[in-house]
Structure 1
Amino acid sequence: MIVGLTGGIGSGKSTVAAMFSELGVPVYIADTEAKKLMHTSPKIREQIVQLFGEKAYTQSGPDNAYIAGIVFRDKTLLTRLNSIIHPEVGRHFKGWYTNQKAPYVIKEAAILFESGAYKDCDAVITVTAPLETRIERVILRDGAAREAVEARIKNQWDEARKIELSDYVITNTDLENTEKQVQELHLRLIKAREQ
């Protein structure tokens, strides 16, 4: 069973993914794998350079700050970038998934809905937190300016839309409570898999 895990920036997806991992659930982090593929795939590199020019890559790999500076101001270019990367991540995930033996796996992706990847999931969990909490977390985590964080939030679906399409919602405002929600959901998912 494939369980999608998503949520807006700063909601705590990575924290929740780590909690599932601690319970022995195989977790695939789409953003991490996308970054690796941007480094290793000649096909992705070629398409990104065509889209953004030679400056998109340095000798050490993709210039993520340069690319982000462009795409978070231009939704069309963001969509085109995602159309380069996400099919490759989807193929990579399928290869990874075939090697898993657990009752279910977690596929964590920031834009699970936006990319359409949720359609390949048997269930979807959305992690949520109040908007102001999310903004503060990202400013603290990335040292980003508030305006930059707000621009990234505007490029993602709003939480209400994600929640509407989700099977489960985890509210991440207090770590102890979040952990309890993850453990309860883990048991429900194993039970669902056995039926």
Structure 2
Amino acid sequence: MLQIGVTGGIGSGKSMVCRIFSALGVPVYYADERAKWLLNHDHQLQRSVIELLGNEAYTANSTYNRAWVASQVFQNPSLLQQLNAIVHPRVREDTEAWMKQNAAAPYVVKEAAIMAKAGQNNALDKVIVVDAPVALRVTRVLQRDPQRSEKEIRDIIARQISDKERRQIADYVIYNDESKLLIPQVWKLHLLFKK
């Protein structure tokens, strides 16, 4: 079974690309969404996060306090690294269990904001990068998340790897710049992967 990674910067449209794969019957693992789910439902993971960051990491009703955690770790690279060292192994275990459940599929897609080149400390066979100009990405996120400011979105983009670095890990690039249709680009890759 082929394992295909899909990544891209905030607002690039990687989730839309994955929804197209899903509509084609391809199992899709949304790593960032599963990480959020695990942070809210996996009690051992919650205890580990609280040990690292304190009780403020969760609200009174035991919901992961994402905004507070972000305010703590994004100014402190060492703390961010420690948090990732807690969360990433648990997401990796969850991914492996999901892969086993979908072993009969010709190929599966894993979506994640952070991804290494295929075969570089991961089980991915190929990586698709979804690419879009920064100005368009900012506009999309402002429409999707009106509570965010343009400055906040641009700060997130600045913390992510650059588009150039992202393209260097790509086996394939899907252009979501509104000049090319998405579905034909995904369809072409779908035909290639399901062989």
Same fold (TM over 0.5): yes
**1:96 — aligned with what?**
98
Identity value in percent: 41
Q: Cα 1:118–1:139, aligned 2, differ >3 Å: closer, same or farther?
A: farther
**1:150 — aligned with what?**
154
Superposed CA deviations along residues 115-144 of structure 1, whole A, max 9, x for unmatched, are x98732011000010011111111221121
Alpha-carbon distance in structure 2 between the residues aligned to 1:137 and 1:169: 19
**What one-letter code is carried by the residue in structure 2 that aligns with 1:126?**
V
**What one-letter code is carried by the residue in structure 2 that aligns with 1:145?**
S
Alpha-carbon distance in structure 1 between the residues aligned to 2:116 and 2:35: 16
Cα RMSD between the aligned structures? Answer: 1.9
Alpha-carbon distance in structure 2 between the residues aligned to 1:31 and 1:87: 13
Q: Cα 1:41–1:117, aligned 2, differ >3 Å: closer, same or farther?
A: farther
- Does residue 14 (structure 1) correspond to residue 18 (structure 2)? The answer is no
Asked if 2 retains the 8 angstrom alpha-carbon contact of 1:4 and 1:118, the reply is no
- How many angstroms does 1:89 deviate by? 0.6
Alpha-carbon distance in structure 1 between the residues aligned to 2:29 and 2:121: 14
- How many angstroms does 1:103 deviate by? 0.5
Match among 97, 106, 112 for residue 115 of structure 2: 112
Q: How does 1:16-165 map to 2 (within 5 A)?
A: 16-58=17-59, 59-100=61-102, 101-113=104-116, 119-143=122-146, 144-165=148-169
- Does residue 178 (structure 1) correspond to residue 179 (structure 2)? The answer is no
- How many angstroms does 1:159 deviate by? 1.4
- How many angstroms does 1:176 deviate by? 6.7
Which is richer in helix? 1
How many corresponding residue pairs? 190
**What one-letter code is carried by the residue in structure 1 that aligns with 2:51?**
Q
Alpha-carbon distance in structure 1 between the residues aligned to 2:183 and 2:73: 34
Alpha-carbon distance in structure 1 between the residues aligned to 2:135 and 2:160: 16
Alpha-carbon distance in structure 1 between the residues aligned to 2:110 and 2:179: 21
Asked if 2 retains the 8 angstrom alpha-carbon contact of 1:118 and 1:124, the reply is no
Stretches of structure 2 that go unaligned for 5 or more consecutive residues are none
Instruction: Name the SS of the counterpart of 1:76 in structure 2.
Output: helix
Q: Cα 1:50–1:175, aligned 2, differ >3 Å: closer, same or farther?
A: farther
- How many angstroms does 1:77 deviate by? 2.5
Alpha-carbon distance in structure 2 between the residues aligned to 1:166 and 1:109: 13
Superposed CA deviations along residues 3-23 of structure 1, whole A, max 9, x for unmatched, are 011001110011000000000
Q: Cα 1:91–1:50, aligned 2, differ >3 Å: closer, same or farther?
A: same
